[in-house]
Structure 1
């Protein structure tokens, strides 16, 4: 008879911490007594084609000392649609050898034998783990402070992280403890697992992170879809946040995209989020996007400036905007916003409100189709008579088109049939063209106020930035044509 799978779902919270902040935390009175110290040595396995990672799993062997002898534990961890920022399903079992055992106790036993034969070590982890058990707000929480490095081939990456694991009690205590820890030492929401660190070493160095497809599947309900989409947006933002720099303008752009996508998710799922916390977090997310907005606006203006002298005149304001943005990103307000958002996605009031129970339980594909229909009707209606409306109305159309595009990108994985995939590609292409034309119109409309604020209104070289009436007419005509093409594009969800 097959042995039962040793699967556990542990509520966890990963937090990034700087080495000096870790020392301050270690010296505080919050951590009681001397910690248990555990050397951790782990090896991660996959095929050369990363088949396990593609399937949404990681596979590792961890070595430790037990009663004077070396013991190995094999861990299979879900990283795809079966995992989120809060609960991480795992399958653990002891093994005797230094090779994985993929039997019926793991979800990987269904892999083709040829793929199992290709599995080999990819990267290693070596760190010193200090462990405390804390009682916080009636909950028992294990706090692990990890310091060490990940190695892959000839590349290394230092690690200093906290992990809070709930052993008993209410999940809200995890976030309450994280906020208290942040009062002592600055912490940031962690989105990179041990495996993520290793895979990043194996790949090229990235200077920005675009939105990845969200791991949605047809068996999900609406509540699960919102959680998965929100977690993907938080992950994209946190990956780009440390890369924000004047020499790397795409990072600030992608960080803003992540926040806009998150706000769009709040709007798309608004019927399900009938609580007071959601609107507050949406406002705070809008504030954070605005913090990055000035730097992004000046990056765009700089790209449109042809004379080098004019670009040089923009640099002081651009540097100041980046300094302000980075200062705000390092603020406690921004750090706690990420924790608040993660908590809201996992256990927010919306998850327990009786009034939203029916919507939360709707099949995600059913909810997605209705939401896409609603957003499409609005963009179709608002684009009528594009040449005869004012700049503000066109700006609203641009925002609605962007929201529809994000929704279509979020939900596209739910419609994986070949015919629907082709339709989705054509629909998104038409929507992207409309959004680009509307964005160019918006840049033209916003240019005079921006040029005035920067003190460039009297500079002849700035005239090209402001454009002409003919430029505006041409852009409106192009936008109207793009809107017609969008209306003609077939819906992939019907």
Structure 2
């Protein structure tokens, strides 16, 4: 049996599928015990990332893999979403406590304290769901067993025999094409006879209007960027510095749009926690949230302009077509 620690030369799509799935499965279960202790938010974060990367490996190598039903990508996704609900609350808590609350006047700090109390109750309920998900005769335990059985006796589809270097572009291009063709790139643009480019010098209010109208589209682009980044990172050994630079760009898109989304989600959470309309949020807090989105929007426009350039997109495609062999 081949494992990621085995010195056997690995050349086929199936070889690399096994290595990727095993690596991210092991990372996922590594943090299970710490997550159940609920002492360190980083353990939850790492387990959630592990599940997402495991899902990406299962999806990215799907043409080669024959996984059992309990270990299918869809099952991984369900558990990742449950972990994600708890992690999202931790992100909200961290932002409220460390980023926004210290900048507020005392009268508004009291409001955030009310929201934090509400968050603590919600988090307690969500952690109970995570605990039920991970313990006992759960789907997670079935998933774990299914993967462990598969590692002992892996099964593949016929395409697993193909040389990795020959099929790598075919694996990467569909997901990356979807990323580059996403309509989110066209949010807040202007066109003339020669170019498509981001609208310059938008005010905070104009940015808020754009986000209210098309924020969901940008959020969807962020999710696509995350999928592409995880998939690209499976194959960095096969490419050079140019590929790594494109991968960093995708990561930056994910992060910048994530900052916008996190701020919007926090605003929605506060209206729920405080049981008020969005327009009734405390003035300083509301301004701070809008300012954070505006700053992230400036960063987004730099990336947007870069990827509205046809030469950049064509260069991305060309780079994918030129995988290289691994060094000996």
One fold, TM greater than 0.5? yes
How far apart in 2 are the matches of 1:321 and 1:466? 30
1:413 aligned residue: 237
2:147 aligned residue: 341
The more displaced of 402-411 and 439-448 is 439-448
Deviations 1:315-349 (A, max 9, x none): 2322332233123211321212111133345546x
How far apart in 1 are the matches of 2:151 and 2:220? 28
Q: TM-score, with normalisation over the residues of structure 2? A: 0.70
2:197 aligned residue: none
Q: Per-residue deviation at 1:427?
A: 2.3
Deviations 1:178-222 (A, max 9, x none): xxxxxxxxxxxxxxxxxxxxxxxxxxxxxxxxxxxxxxx7x4211
| Structure 1 segment 15-30 matched on structure 2, within 5 A | none
Whether contact under 8 Å (1:236, 1:255) holds in the other structure is yes
| Structure 1 segment 191-340 matched on structure 2, within 5 A | 219-244=10-35, 245-273=37-65, 277=69, 281-305=72-96, 306=101, 307=109, 309=113, 310-333=115-138, 334-340=140-146
Matched position secondary structure for 2:234: helix
Q: Per-residue deviation at 1:424?
A: 3.7
Structure whose alpha-carbon radius of gyration is higher: 1
2:6 aligned residue: 82
Unaligned runs of 5+ in 1: 1-8, 10-77, 84-88, 90-216
1:68 aligned residue: none
Q: Per-residue deviation at 1:412?
A: 0.8
How far apart in 2 are the matches of 1:466 and 1:314? 22
Q: Per-residue deviation at 1:229?
A: 0.5
Q: Per-residue deviation at 1:233?
A: 0.9
1:425 aligned residue: 244
| Structure 1 segment 150-189 matched on structure 2, within 5 A | none
1:397 aligned residue: 221
Q: Which has a greater percent of helix?
A: 2
How far apart in 2 are the matches of 1:477 and 1:248? 33
Kindly indicate whether residue 170 of structure 2 is the aligned counterpart of residue 378 of structure 1: no
- Report the CA distance shift for 1:463/1:317 in structure 2 as closer, same or farther (over 3 A): farther
Whether contact under 8 Å (1:387, 1:477) holds in the other structure is no
- Report the CA distance shift for 1:343/1:325 in structure 2 as closer, same or farther (over 3 A): same
- Report the CA distance shift for 1:312/1:463 in structure 2 as closer, same or farther (over 3 A): farther
Deviations 1:204-246 (A, max 9, x none): xxxxxxxxxxxxx7x4211111111111111111111111144
Whether contact under 8 Å (1:246, 1:319) holds in the other structure is no
1:19 aligned residue: none
Matched position secondary structure for 1:227: helix
Unaligned runs of 5+ in 2: 102-108, 190-212, 323-328
Matched position secondary structure for 1:270: coil
1:165 aligned residue: none
Whether contact under 8 Å (1:230, 1:345) holds in the other structure is no
Q: Which has a greater percent of strand?
A: 1
Deviations 1:137-156 (A, max 9, x none): xxxxxxxxxxxxxxxxxxxx
| Structure 1 segment 41-56 matched on structure 2, within 5 A | none
Matched position secondary structure for 1:390: helix
Matched position secondary structure for 1:272: coil
- Report the CA distance shift for 1:338/1:243 in structure 2 as closer, same or farther (over 3 A): same
- Report the CA distance shift for 1:461/1:320 in structure 2 as closer, same or farther (over 3 A): farther
Q: Per-residue deviation at 1:277?
A: 2.8
Deviations 1:284-324 (A, max 9, x none): 21221122122111111111112472434422322332233
Whether contact under 8 Å (1:386, 1:476) holds in the other structure is no
How far apart in 2 are the matches of 1:483 and 1:274? 38
| Aligned alpha-carbon RMSD (Å) | 3.3
Q: TM-score, with normalisation over the residues of structure 1? A: 0.48
